[in-house]
Amino acid sequence: MDVHLEPWSESALGLLRRINTPQMRRWVGGPEPEEQLLARHRRYLALPETAGGCMFAVLLEGEMVGSIAYHQRTWQGEQVFETGWNVLPPHQGRGIAAAAGAALVAVVREAARRPGAPGTLHAFPSVENAASNALCRRLGFTLLGECDFEYPSGSGTLMRSSDWVLAVAEAALPGAGPGVAG
């Protein structure tokens, strides 16, 4: 299976529209109106300059079938990397998210080498999203517990999420024990 990541571009707006459905957005508040969707697209394009990260289109044999991202944020008083992903329904259950997630972890490990970069990568899927929670486990993340997580950022809307963490830099989780330093 040929899965790779391509940095977000103008051509990915169509993918974003295909993701903006009740089924795909059921865990994150539902579909957005066109104006909000276009604003999201602009944020994704600007992510490398504004949030120390990148949104990627997930390509399967050249076709855009999903998205995955990482960016820096403050979480519980510390700078961390955060990730999130989507795979379109016809392509779910085939290992595409796992392949994209593994590729993203490699990208984030490189980003974590920059001076002052965060050493951990967090994912915050809804506690009800069994597939995304299973993907975190499969990628080697450690579940820290449940939390109230604001999504989208700045909206004031809280969702009950799982807080998963993966060390992406050496000694990122001192004293956390074996198996966490992934």
What confidence tens digit (pLDDT) does each residue in 36-46 have?
999 999 999 99
50 vs 141 pLDDT, higher one: 141
Is residue 62 within 8 A of residue 90, CB to CB? The reply is no
DSSP for residue 151:
S
Predicted pLDDT of residue 28: 82
Predicted pLDDT of residue 171: 56
Predicted pLDDT of residue 157: 79
Vertex 129 angle, CA 17 and 78, to 5°: 90
Domain-by-domain residue ranges, the chain? 3-167
Predicted pLDDT of residue 172: 52
Predicted pLDDT of residue 181: 36
Average pLDDT over residues 84-103: 96
Q: Where are the beta strands (DSSP E) in the chain?
A: 3-7, 54-60, 63-75, 78-87, 120-123, 142-150, 158-167
Measured distance between the N- and C-terminal CA atoms of the chain, rounded to whole angstroms = 24
110 vs 159 pLDDT, higher one: 110
For 90, what's the count of Cα atoms within 13 Å in the CB-facing half-sphere?
5
Distance separating alpha carbons of residues 10 and 41, to the nearest angstrom: 8
Predicted pLDDT of residue 24: 87
**% of residues, the chain, pLDDT over 90:** 79
Is residue 103 within 8 A of residue 96, CB to CB? The reply is no
Predicted pLDDT of residue 22: 87
Question: What angle in degrees, to the nearest 10, is found between the helix axes of 130-138 and 96-111?
Answer: 50
Superfamily for domain range 3-167: Gcn5-related N-acetyltransferase (GNAT) (3.40.630.30)
Is residue 56 within 8 A of residue 68, CB to CB? The reply is yes
pTM assigned to the model: 0.88
Predicted pLDDT of residue 151: 77
Predicted pLDDT of residue 59: 98
Tokens of 27: 């865990």
153 vs 55 pLDDT, higher one: 55
57 vs 171 pLDDT, higher one: 57
Predicted pLDDT of residue 160: 92
